[in-house]
Structure 1
């Protein structure tokens, strides 16, 4: 019966002075790895504060580093919810029988400095309507498509003639070049560099005929400024390099544009003379000398 106390499991054992001392020493030695308070924790807190301060300094320095180029407004952090919560604006494009009513979210229109001026004049209590009688209906529709999708495509009519043309076929009439060119000039007016760049890229993917290229050249030189060398320079270079061969297919149209659009003629001649000058003196000396006037 005297052995009964030694069999107790649920009770708390009586403290032993020697064991208590040993346990205390063990607890002190293992205090660094336990969650119990440790007398040596003060240096640890200082080190943690130092580490935190170092991290803060690193974050501050990172903010001073040059940021990457900001992406296009609609392709980056734009939230589509901004469209869904924006009011709808009615836009009447064109005039007469060709006038077309279009609708768009106001948020999309604010991307354009030109259209933003119209939006600022809208009264919330009246009809939200914008009239653009001088704009091309198809080009403006492509602008709206670009605003929502960052790309645009042409809707082809369901006719036998159009269905017979395979994809990537030669643009015989030059109409495809003109359609992209209209979007280019519209993007310039609306103040949308991204749309201008996209239209210019699509222009260079079109394979056209001499007549189509000449119609495109006339449009470019009558609807863009002299300073817009981005679109004018390739046109002039094209005709400077191939005009001596292509003009035979479009002789009458070639003579007409040279007389009616002097800026086009001047650019082509300037490029030809630059090429001649860069060829060197040897080629210049090989050119036969001729008199400006015949002898009497």
Structure 2
């Protein structure tokens, strides 16, 4: 019972408080001379039914769905329980097309990345995917097969691909999780270039979750990063003019902001918390 739900004894208390000379059994006309019905203000409103919890056993007893990832020689078969897949609106619609005649349940995903799909399924079954975030820290769990510094951008791209997959499949929790893991990766200039190229190729123009941080990151460090990967930086700007425009806009905005702050607070130092990034030369 919620705090704003009237207590069950309210109606009894109201009746006890009524004058003794009123005969309650004479009907509504005696209680209300104009003949209208009295509202039951002291009545207990019906509460919304509590959704029934779906157990993990019920998920695992649902039909098996075959997922065909990739195409041609690179096609890979994965399987998953329909009860878990349908947490995604994308797969809920796809599974709704299946006939209940015992025929195979199969979904073709020729353009999807196999590793990202593996992370997606791992999230459905466990609520997370490898590598997990270390609680209370801005780092990911260690694995000997994963370098401490992302020289190529592969680690950034892994989470970016999970992000775009979650966007397509309509899983906001997974999308947010992937975005948070991106900020735990230590990378280099060339790694950042590879990541930025993917972001500007596969995310929407109005994306604010990972597009904006990419532009901000390069705007605040472009003078250093460009020196380490100038050719790649130039190529990215020419290939995706929106990237160059976003970075330039933030550089100019920051310049104006700094000038205003200097006028208001002369001599005050500025600072900004940025995602760690290592120099290509020091990380080698």
Once the two structures are TM-superposed, the CA of residue 280 in structure 1 deviates from its matched residue by 3.2
Q: Decide which structure has the larger Cα Rg and report it.
A: 1
Alignment of 1:148-227 (within 5 A): 148-153=125-130, 165=144, 169-227=148-206
Once the two structures are TM-superposed, the CA of residue 84 in structure 1 deviates from its matched residue by 2.4
Structure 2 CA distance for partners of 1:87 and 1:62, relative to 1, 3 Å: closer
TM-score normalised to structure 2 length: 0.69
CA–CA separation in structure 2 for the residues paired with 1:191 and 1:164: 30
Unaligned stretches of 5+ residues in structure 1: 1-50, 65-69, 155-162, 285-296
CA–CA separation in structure 2 for the residues paired with 1:216 and 1:265: 15
**Aligned partner (choices 80, 97, 101) of residue 104 of structure 1:** 80
After the TM superposition, which segments of 4 or more aligned residues of structure 1 sit over 4 Å from their partners?
Answer: 55-64, 163-168, 281-284
Structure 2 CA distance for partners of 1:95 and 1:282, relative to 1, 3 Å: closer
Structure 2 CA distance for partners of 1:242 and 1:191, relative to 1, 3 Å: same
Once the two structures are TM-superposed, the CA of residue 164 in structure 1 deviates from its matched residue by 9.6
TM-score normalised to structure 1 length: 0.66
CA–CA separation in structure 1 for the residues paired with 2:161 and 2:70: 14
Tell me the residue number matched to 2:107: 130
Higher relative contact order (CA 8 A, sep 6+): 2
CA–CA separation in structure 2 for the residues paired with 1:100 and 1:55: 66
CA–CA separation in structure 2 for the residues paired with 1:144 and 1:119: 16
CA–CA separation in structure 2 for the residues paired with 1:214 and 1:263: 14
Tell me the residue number matched to 2:89: 113
How many residue pairs end up in the alignment?
217
**Aligned partner (choices 239, 247, 251) of residue 230 of structure 2:** 251
Q: Check conservation: 2:64, 2:79, Cα contact below 8 A.
A: yes
Once the two structures are TM-superposed, the CA of residue 279 in structure 1 deviates from its matched residue by 2.4
